[in-house]
Amino acid sequence: MHRLIVANWKMNPDTPSEARALVTATKLVAGNLRHTNVVICPPAVFLALLKPTRKIALGAQDISTELRGAYTGSISAPMMKYSGVTYAIIGHSERRALGETDEIINQKIKIALSQGLRVILCVGERARDEHGHYLKHLREQLEKAVYRLPRPMAKGLIIAYEPIWAIGVDAKQADTPAGFLEQSIFIRKVLSHWCGRTMALELPILYGGSVNPKNAVSFIKEGEANGLLVGHESLRADHWREIIKIVDHA
Ligand code: 13P
């Protein structure tokens, strides 16, 4: 399985020229990759400026629950597709914090997959308690996300495990590779009840949360992550390039 390294730019950078510069920097390394596919998820207004290449795919940071109509400010999955997008991040904790419910996420996954987009479903707990309640939360997020989705849809699904406490420049630390591995085993177990054991074992699971050039390799090697979802470090061209190279060589 190819590794997947995804940049979530969130609401950055400010200008189209900065966005173009980041893609140009990515192209410098992407051409030589052997085991890794790169996805860039820019703010939607920059999509038209950033053409996907054989090695760099484009992703949406979110999509609408609807296909068209009177939904001010929303962007549909077909519009994303026509803008060159092949992946969609759904259920990011920053969107959940704005009120996105599990039911909305379920609807978005259904729409995205039925339109042929690959879904990067984000799950993760706010805090890790010693009694293991966070596992119940994680289970619920997963079960509700795939509720009543046809099993074959699992083929288009990618899970990103992003513990909220590890996200952002202010986070104290990233998860540990061992911690991630434990969660990914749990995620596969929960999803196997939906899509069956074989498919659950094949689901790509990415780690996200304070990924940087220092910890990237350990998540791939010790954590057995199928890839990484990178936030603020994907906006620093030098660090971002290093992370991509490290993942490809790991
Ligand atoms: P950081 O890499 O900035 O912690 O963000 C992770 C993230 O939320 C990616 O979706």
DSSP, collapsed to helix, strand or coil, labels residue 205 as strand
pLDDT of the residue at 220 = 97
Which listed residue (125, 162, 233, 239) is catalytic? 162
CA of 59 to the centre of ligand 1 (A): 15
pLDDT of the residue at 93 = 98
Active site residue 92: yes
Give the chain's domains with CATH numbers: 3-249 (3.20.20.70)
Q: Write the single-letter amino acid at 139.
A: R
Rounded mean pLDDT for each run of 10 residues along the chain, 250 residues in total: 95 97 95 95 95 93 98 97 97 98 98 98 94 94 97 96 95 95 98 97 97 97 98 98 95
pLDDT of the residue at 80 = 98
* Residue from 109, 4, 89, 5 nearest 44 by CA: 89
Residue whose Cα lies nearest atom 7 of ligand 1: it is 231
Q: Whole-angstrom Cα distance, residue 95 to residue 93?
A: 5
Task: Number of helices (H) and strands (E) in the chain: give both, helices first.
Answer: 9, 8
Q: Whole-angstrom Cα distance, residue 243 to residue 216?
A: 6
CA of 69 to the centre of ligand 1 (A): 32
pLDDT of the residue at 38 = 97
Residue whose Cα lies nearest atom 9 of ligand 1: it is 231
Q: Whole-angstrom Cα distance, residue 220 to residue 162?
A: 15
Q: CA Rg, the chain, in Å?
A: 17
Residue whose Cα lies nearest atom 2 of ligand 1: it is 231
Contact 116, 69 (CB under 8 A): no
pLDDT of the residue at 132 = 87
Report the pocket of ligand 1 as residue ranges, CB < 6 Å.
8, 92, 162, 167-168, 171, 208-211, 229-233
| Per-residue CA distances from 60 to 8, 20, 44, 223 (Å) | 9, 16, 7, 26
CA angle, 5 then 183 then 166, to 5°:
65
Please state the atom number of ligand 1 nearest to the C-alpha of residue 230: 2
Active site residue 137: no
- Bridge partners of residue 58, in order along the sequence: 40, 85
CA of 230 to the centre of ligand 1 (A): 5
